[in-house]
Structure 1
Amino acid sequence: MKKQYKRKCIVTNNIISIDELLRFSINKNKEISVDFHKNLPGRGAYVTNKKEIIEILFKKKLLNKAFKNNIPKEKYAKLMEEIFKNE
């Protein structure tokens, strides 16, 4: 039987199975990417995989807090485009 891993959503603070979450990762070069397969190296931040929750993430710029880094608006726009393109 496969173990059910759980992580905390950085928007809602709910602990949820990783199957229901979307992962963002930041590598050593401070490059942030959407990790659809949840296997990229680097520090990860999880958010509930629902459109309204993801919009709150970008509106409040919560990735800045999660990664302790100042992320430019252009990068947020690029990440949002990448997520909604794959829906």
Structure 2
Amino acid sequence: MKIKNKQILRKSIVDGKLYPLNELIRFAKLADGSIKFDPNCKLSGRGAYCYKNISQLDILFKKRLLNKSFRHNISIEEYNEIRKDVDEWIKNKIKENQTMKE
């Protein structure tokens, strides 16, 4: 008996619910200990996922949930850099969606 396309699920670190992988964004902890925003899910290393929702992203940065997820104290400068990368990615996605609608 063949199994049809199995949908990959991951848990969001903000609300703890399971979501399909295409509805999540990824943050990766690299081998050198740095944390990076990984929009394409291509970076190697330990990953943490968050649902693609602005309110959940605000909670993630407000409560500094990446510290808990990676068991590592992340400096405020790193959080600001990650937040800036996420904001740029969101702006680009909004522009892409607007051009597709036109």
TM-score range, shorter chain: over 0.9
**Over aligned residue pairs, what C-alpha RMSD do you find?**
1.0
Distance, in Å, in 1 between the alignment partners of 2:27 and 2:33 is: 12
The unaligned stretches of length 5 or more in structure 1 are none
**Moved runs in structure 1, 4+ residues, more than 3 A?**
none
Normalised by the size of structure 1, how large is the TM-score? 0.95
Amino acid in the other structure paired with 2:67: N
Percentage of matched positions with identical amino acids: 37
The residue number in structure 2 matching 1:59 is 62
- Kindly provide the CA deviation profile for residues 29-70 of structure 1, in whole angstroms up to 9, marking residues without a partner as x: 001111111121000000001111001000000000000000
Specify which structure has the bigger relative contact order, considering alpha-carbon pairs within 8 angstroms and separated by 6 or more residues.
Answer: 1
3-state SS in 2 of match to 1:86: helix
Give the structure 1 partner of residue 19 of structure 2. Answer: 16
TM-score (norm 2): 0.81
**Residue correspondences, number:** 87
Q: Which structure: greater helix fraction?
A: 2
Q: Which runs of 5+ in 2 are unaligned?
A: 91-102
